[in-house]
Amino acid sequence: MVRLNTILLVFYLTFCHAANILYIIPFTAKSHYISMRTIGLELSRRGHNVTVITAYKENEHPPNYHQIKVQATSVWDSLGFERPNVFSMADLSDEVFHQNFLWPGGLAITEMALASPAVQELLRSDAKFDLVISEQFFQEAFYVLAHKYEAPLALVTSFGNCMKHNFFIRNPLQWSTVTYELLMLDNPKSFFGRLRNMYFSLYELFWWKYWYLSKQEELMRKYIPALPQPIPNLVDIQKNASLMLVNRHFSVDSSIAYLPNVVEIGGVHITKTNTTLPKDLQTILDEAKHGVVYVNFGSNVRSSELPDEKKQAFLNVFRRLRQTVIWKWEDDELKGKSDNVITRQWFPQKDILNHPNIKVFISHGGLIGTQEAIYGGVPIIGIPIYGDQLNNLFSIEELGIGRILRYHDINEENLFELLSEFVNTDAYKKKAEEVSRRYLDRPMSALDTAVFWLEYVIRNNGAPYMKSPALELNWWAYTMLDVYIFLAVTLTLTMFVIIKILIFVKMILMTQKSNIKSKKS
């Protein structure tokens, strides 16, 4: 028996390659970290030596999981101004949201991460890596580490599809059915919706490519030492990424045509655990005979910042319900709440949403919570504020498992009417359970899928054959513009010649007719 085990171990080691992997997830929004963390942990559990640049520390992890800690400074603090009431951002245009928050915030977070002593120590060391994985979210200076370590680059999104990545890797754009991921867009399939989608995608691409990336390259050259020469620009580095893992899935999001090196891993953060709910919370959920309304606006949008009139609308409606209400409320207490309302500053959301007594989830429409609700078969009432939230909630409405309530439409009448529709019938719940079944019906889990393709890239030296052959073409050849122009010119010249011939023939016939008339006269 011992001999057999030894043979099996040798066989396993022969075919198993433990790689050195650098995983870069320093963005300081907690929701981003939650969506990304499982990949690094799972790679280390499978024997790889994983070094993670992160703003959040894992207390329990394998010994081959190494953390390079950067400061978890919020975007607001990094920009040097006081955190705004996020509900006030509901009226921001997408252009202003990018100009005032995403671009400057991305630059500030990137610089803080690169400048941190732990990261600088790593960059000056003689470390070597077989794969570099980076989150795709306004921190592109880190991509050059794939060039520094001569390793393949894999990108992963905490949101869904990445429109600008599609541009550069020659993936079909599909503007008519695929909305830019951070665009708040009403009626996306209407003429003006599609026009707005195309315009904003090009607007963001232009400023990102010709302004934002130049700023990222300045940070790259300032903070990353000993880069091999010549240094490619960040556009070329992203264009040549071996793999893009996108946090979406066709079973609940719109179907998209993908190249082989773009892989869907929607819900990758949702894994089965042995943890249980706290006893008091388990009892509350189990004993809620009329069901539970769960309210949570995520880690960035805080319920406690609701204006008084909207907060009062929620309290008045909850007072009229028979259901228990569990509400993530960030202050120490919520004055005026009724006995059926239970508030805490934090809840184990994934486990709560898997409890059978949850009737409806009132959410801001963030992707992480939306995926957890789909996983648990829970319908959603969504109140979008900014970013990808409206896109996520449009998908929820189209699936028939939720409804959108606009922030400015929150009042007691609207909220009560909408909530009553969810808690007094099972229609939304049954549809949500049906959608949950198809969301989970996959050949592999999202996490297994992510790990398989990352290991595939390592095994196959970057797997360059998965990239589009159109990368070898310039943009007018890729779009067939030169061919279309040739055909248009050829058709125009042909029509011109035909018309000239017809005019010439007509003139001859008219001359002959005139001569005949002259002879008769």
Give the span between the Cα atoms of 298 and 363, in whole angstroms: 8
pLDDT of residue 509: 86
pLDDT of residue 7: 46
**Would you state the structure tokens that stand for residue 239, as one six-digit string?**
């264009």
Please determine, for residue 519, whether its predicted confidence score (pLDDT) is greater than 80: no
Q: Is the fold of 17-270+445-466 the same as that of 279-440?
A: yes
Give the pLDDT mean for 385-398. Answer: 92
Beta strands in 90-233 (DSSP E): 131-135, 153-156
Give the span between the Cα atoms of 87 and 96, in whole angstroms: 15
Cis peptide before 84 (omega within 30 of 0): no
Phi and psi torsions of 40, nearest 5°: -65, -40
Give the span between the Cα atoms of 123 and 221, in whole angstroms: 12
* Domain limits, the chain: 17-270+445-466, 279-440
Give the pLDDT mean for 356-376. Answer: 95
Q: What single DSSP character describes residue 343?
A: E
Cis peptide before 230 (omega within 30 of 0): yes
Give CA separation, 385 vs 90, 302, 328, in Å: 5, 11, 17
Give the span between the Cα atoms of 26 and 29, in whole angstroms: 9
- Among residues 410, 385, 403, the alpha carbon closest in space to that of 317 is found at 410
Number of helices and strands (H, E) in the chain?
A: 21, 13
The sign one gets for the Cα dihedral 496, 499, 503, 505 is positive
Please determine, for residue 39, whether its predicted confidence score (pLDDT) is greater than 90: yes
Give the pLDDT mean for 290-307. Answer: 92
**Considering the chain, what is the average pLDDT of its residues?**
91
Instruction: Note the pLDDT tens digit of each residue in 172-222.
Output: 888 888 889 999 988 888 999 999 999 999 999 999 999 999 999 999 999
pLDDT band per the 50, 70, 90 thresholds, residue 6? very low
Q: Find the Cα–Cα–Cα–Cα dihedral 155, 158, 160, 162, rounded to 10°.
A: -40
Q: Which CATH class is domain 279-440?
A: alpha beta
Give the span between the Cα atoms of 412 and 315, in whole angstroms: 9
pLDDT band per the 50, 70, 90 thresholds, residue 272? confident
Please determine, for residue 245, whether its predicted confidence score (pLDDT) is greater than 70: yes
- Among residues 233, 239, 234, the alpha carbon closest in space to that of 169 is found at 239
| β-strand partners of 153 | 132
Identify the CATH homologous superfamily for domain 17-270+445-466. Glycogen Phosphorylase B; (3.40.50.2000)
Please determine, for residue 74, whether its predicted confidence score (pLDDT) is greater than 90: no
Instruction: Note the pLDDT tens digit of each residue in 98-147.
Output: 999 999 999 999 999 999 999 999 999 999 999 999 999 999 999 999 99
Please determine, for residue 315, whether its predicted confidence score (pLDDT) is greater than 50: yes
Neighbours of 47 (CB within 10 A): 15
